[in-house]
Amino acid sequence: MKLGGPLPEHGHDASAVIKLLDEQGSPGTVGTTSGRFFGFVVGGALPATVAAHWLADAWDQNACLYELSPVAAQCEEIVLAWLLDLLRLPNGCGGAFVTGAQMANFTALAAARHATLLDANWNVEEDGLFSAPPITVVVGEEVHVTVLKALAMLGLGRNRIVTIPTDSQGRMRADALPRLSGPAIICVQVGNVNTGACDPVGEICDAAHQQRAWVHVDGAFGLWAATIPTRCHLTEGVGAADSWATDAHKWLNVPQDSGIAIVRDMRHLRGAMAITSSYLQPGERREPMQYGPESSRRARAVEIWAALRNLGRQGVADLIERTCQHAKRFADRLRSAGFEILNDVVLNQVLVSFGESDVTKRVIEAIQSDGTCWCGGTVWKGCTAMRISVSSWATTETDVDRSLDAIIRIASREAT
């Protein structure tokens, strides 16, 4: 890639700069917008959202204050209300538009820290954590690593967390919840990154709220199950939680980077995030920076607005249903071809084993170098597996069948 060398002494013409970037940079990209990219949990960016992104870039809005970008602040308000409706969350929640589920977990957990300590007469924003009443944090053993990072960044530590067991699909066992007293936060997951399984969130909320604990839901992609009748039972009771983290750049298919933190009682989000100074006096209207960790930033809600306006409620439901059906198609044909599916395919995630660990690893490598489709690897309950995550609007049944032909051809060859 010939993008390096010494810092140019003199500038180059803008067209020449972009031409070089295209020539040298484009070959260094990964085709995540393809309908046959099934790695990680990566959406494909709907065309309307890419165009909205370009428009917003041309506007170059600083979305921190209403005064600096009325359109950014208004899109945030509109989109937040639409998302609460779509994801079956309570009206009137507060929300922040952040880079992804990592920062959404951080933001929502900062609100949880604020609220649980306030309940114990402690102002953590003013007085910090030294000498604060301890907060009990409970997670399932399948907690996503970004929740642990968020807890670490918030000074809640990884080693003092209470970890409770999960079932064969990675769901937290509600019957294993400990008795809680004092400030407590329970981190629940809807959409396990390997299996797609969802914790019994309603049951956990019931138990938690009897003990005044805060329930935070990491629903990076799984929260979107609430949008379709065939899967909404997986997130039943999710609206009873206190905060939620989700991504728009995964299953909603908007460009990177786009996540949303949602908090039932907006006062706690503001309590954790709001700042003022002589030149930053919040007005009556939405001031985005009062809800999130960032100040100056781009207008992320614009692309989410474009996705929701472009798809509508029905289009979102079609997208979620279609990708779940594609995942089932993968699982059914791979099983019929004699390969082991390791998870109950409840959402858009499939885990397949091609035999011994080294065989599965070899198959994954061969699939990646064949180039028909892209899938990554993982380890599930000690077993090496290939992950197929169907998250893109662009994936068609033909893409699935073409990918399946390649996977089965390669696996049959490598497994013998």
Ligand X SMILES: Cc1ncc(COP(=O)(O)O)c(C=O)c1O
Sheet holding 136-140, edge to edge: 94-98, 259-263, 243-247, 214-218, 184-189, 136-140, 162-164
Find the distance separating the first CA and the last CA of the chain, reported in whole Å.
Answer: 38
Q: Least Å distance between CB 107 and ligand X?
A: 11
Collect all residues with Cβ–Cβ distance below 8 Å to 300 and sequence separation of at least 6.
Answer: 63, 97, 98, 248, 257, 258
Instruction: Please say which residue, 108 or 115, places its beta carbon nearer to ligand X.
Output: 108
Residue 137 exposed, middle or buried by CB count within 10 Å (0-12, 13-18, 19+):
buried
User: What residues from 348 to 377 belong to the interface with ligand X (CB under 6 A)?
Assistant: none
Which residue's C-beta sits nearest to ligand X? 100
Collect all residues with Cβ–Cβ distance below 8 Å to 284 and sequence separation of at least 6.
Answer: none
84 binds ligand X (CB under 6 A): no
Q: Which stretch binds ligand X (CB under 6 A): 43-51, 215-223, 379-387, 396-404?
A: 215-223
Distance CA 249, CA 256 (A): 5
Instruction: Please say which residue, 191 or 292, places its beta carbon nearer to ligand X.
Output: 191
Select from 112, 101, 118, 117 the least CA-distant residue to 138.
112
Instruction: Please say which residue, 189 or 348, places its beta carbon nearer to ligand X.
Output: 189
CA angle 361–366–369, rounded 5-degree value: 130
CA angle 320–303–398, rounded 5-degree value: 40
Give me 102's structure tokens. Answer: 């990592």
Among 76, 142, 218, 399, binds ligand X (CB under 6 A): 218
Find the helix or strand (DSSP H, E) in which 210 lies: helix 201-210
Distance CA 272, CA 70 (A): 24
Instruction: Please say which residue, 248 or 363, places its beta carbon nearer to ligand X.
Output: 248
Instruction: Please say which residue, 65 or 186, places its beta carbon nearer to ligand X.
Output: 186
216 binds ligand X (CB under 6 A): no
Instruction: Please say which residue, 259 or 292, places its beta carbon nearer to ligand X.
Output: 259
Among 43, 94, 100, 196, binds ligand X (CB under 6 A): 100
Rg (CA), the chain: 22
User: What residues from 164 to 183 belong to the interface with ligand X (CB under 6 A)?
Assistant: none
146 binds ligand X (CB under 6 A): yes
Provide the 8-state DSSP code for 13: -
Only one residue has tokens 């020539």, namely: 23
Q: Least Å distance between CB 174 and ligand X?
A: 19
* Binding residues for ligand X, total number by CB under 6 A: 14
343 binds ligand X (CB under 6 A): no
292 binds ligand X (CB under 6 A): no
Q: Which stretch binds ligand X (CB under 6 A): 19-27, 100-108, 160-168, 305-313?
A: 100-108
Among 86, 110, 220, 320, binds ligand X (CB under 6 A): 220
Q: Is the dihedral of CA 211, 214, 219, 225 positive or negative?
A: positive
Instruction: Please say which residue, 186 or 404, places its beta carbon nearer to ligand X.
Output: 186
Instruction: Please say which residue, 136 or 194, places its beta carbon nearer to ligand X.
Output: 194
Among 33, 102, 227, 353, binds ligand X (CB under 6 A): 102
- List residues bridging with 260 in a β-sheet: 97, 246
Q: Least Å distance between CB 257 and ligand X?
A: 7
Collect all residues with Cβ–Cβ distance below 8 Å to 24 and sequence separation of at least 6.
Answer: 1, 2, 3
Q: Which stretch binds ligand X (CB under 6 A): 3-11, 22-30, 95-103, 400-408?
A: 95-103
101 binds ligand X (CB under 6 A): yes
259 binds ligand X (CB under 6 A): yes
Instruction: Please say which residue, 66 or 221, places its beta carbon nearer to ligand X.
Output: 221
The distance of Cα 374 from the centroid of its chain, to the nearest Å, equals 20
CA angle 108–388–158, rounded 5-degree value: 35
Instruction: Please say which residue, 247 or 287, places its beta carbon nearer to ligand X.
Output: 247
Q: What are the start-end ranges of the E strands in 150-297? A: 162-164, 184-189, 214-218, 243-247, 259-263
Among 33, 37, 38, 41, binds ligand X (CB under 6 A): 41
Give the interface with ligand X as residue ranges (CB under 6 A): 41, 100-102, 144, 146, 189, 191, 193, 218, 220-221, 247, 259
